[in-house]
Amino acid sequence: MKMTLKTLCVLALGLATAAGAQAGELLKPFILASNAPGNMAAEVAQTKAALQKAGFTIAGAYSPYAGATVVCVTNPEMLHNATLSPMGGFGAAERVALTQVGSNIQISYVNPVYMANAYRMKDTLGPVAAKLKAALGDERAFGAHGLTASQLRHYHYMFGMEYFTDPSVLATYPSHQAAVDAVQANLRAGKGGVSEVYRIDIPGAQQTEFGVAMRAGPGGNKSMDDHYIMSEIDFKPIKSTAHLPYEMLVDGKKVLALYARFRIAIDFPDLAMIGAHSFVNIMSSPEAIRKALVIAAGGKEHNSVF
């Protein structure tokens, strides 16, 4: 196969990124691609085009609240990597966020190397990170003081809280297809205030990942609402909008979700436990999220973390 200079450079950068992570580099959850004046609609269109040109497939997009758009993508490398580790489907999608802050549009995305280590995936997705950098840019990593690959692979926020390997079982069905069909129908109906942002069927595995929007609606429980949660924890000048959306994974016959004390904490590991803009302010959110997702999955309320 003929290798162009650009291809060789991308691969070399990807290998260097992965090697650096293995060597004890401090990884951060998000990458700021750019931060400059712009028009949201135009920037969203240009971002989607750049991602598609780089070989990514647009799985879905949504606006979780005014002034924010999240575009979710995948590519063959991510899909293959998702088949190589338990619950690898949680890492099948890349989230790219555009956030209006004043007159600027901040474009950011989840650091694939950080995510791959946090989700204990086999490959650390260095080449994917290189493709995102080439397509969108990479001004700097942000979102935490940083964790090593080893720390991420064993991460929990504090004693007694969940690891990646402690998901919630939302529902169980007779077959994988029955589970997928039930979740799809419930999301289309908006049950539990939860609706579909994207669906990714992972080739070669009985895994389907759904990205979901969560809106409390009139009379609903605000503790599960995307906007409410982010208004409490995403308070810094550079926004971490790419934390959204949340995921549900149909893994075989089971419908799973990462428990919020892991799923939120892994993207905000430096957030204080108490005080202004702290975890105590969203203390009721983990269970509110789980209950909403149980309804969306068609499960029974007694299902809980295992």
Model confidence at 1: pLDDT above 80: no
DSSP 244: P
Q: 142-155, pLDDT tens digit by residue?
A: 999 999 999 999 99
Residue 141 and residue 173 share a domain: no
Among 153, 177, 206, which residue terminates a domain? Answer: 153
Give pLDDT, residue 5.
Answer: 42
CATH code where residue 17 lies: 3.30.310.70
Residue 203 and residue 148 share a domain: no
Task: Domain count for the chain, please give it.
Answer: 2
Q: Which tokens hold the place of 297?
A: 């999955």
Model confidence at 167: pLDDT above 60: yes
Distance of CA 144 to the CA centre of its chain: 16
Q: Residue 129, Cβ neighbours under 10 Å: how many?
A: 27
Among 123, 153, 183, which residue terminates a domain? Answer: 153
Residue 236 and residue 133 share a domain: no
Among 153, 182, 208, which residue terminates a domain? Answer: 153
CATH code where residue 205 lies: 3.30.310
- The Cα–Cα gap between 132 and 99 comes to 18
Amino acid symbol at 56: F
Residue 185 and residue 138 share a domain: no
Residues whose CB falls within 8 Å of the CB of residue 80, separated by 6 or more in sequence, listed in order: 204
Give pLDDT, residue 12.
Answer: 47
- The Cα–Cα gap between 271 and 105 comes to 24
Residue 10 and residue 146 share a domain: yes
Residue 31 and residue 129 share a domain: yes
Arithmetic mean of pLDDT, 110-129:
98
Arithmetic mean of pLDDT, 83-98:
98
Residue 176 and residue 136 share a domain: no
Q: 193-246, pLDDT tens digit by residue?
A: 999 999 999 999 999 999 999 999 999 999 999 999 999 999 999 999 999 999
Arithmetic mean of pLDDT, 176-195:
98
Residue 192 lies in domain: 168-297
- What percentage of the chain reaches a pLDDT higher than 70? 91
> Residue 163: inside a domain, yes or no?
no
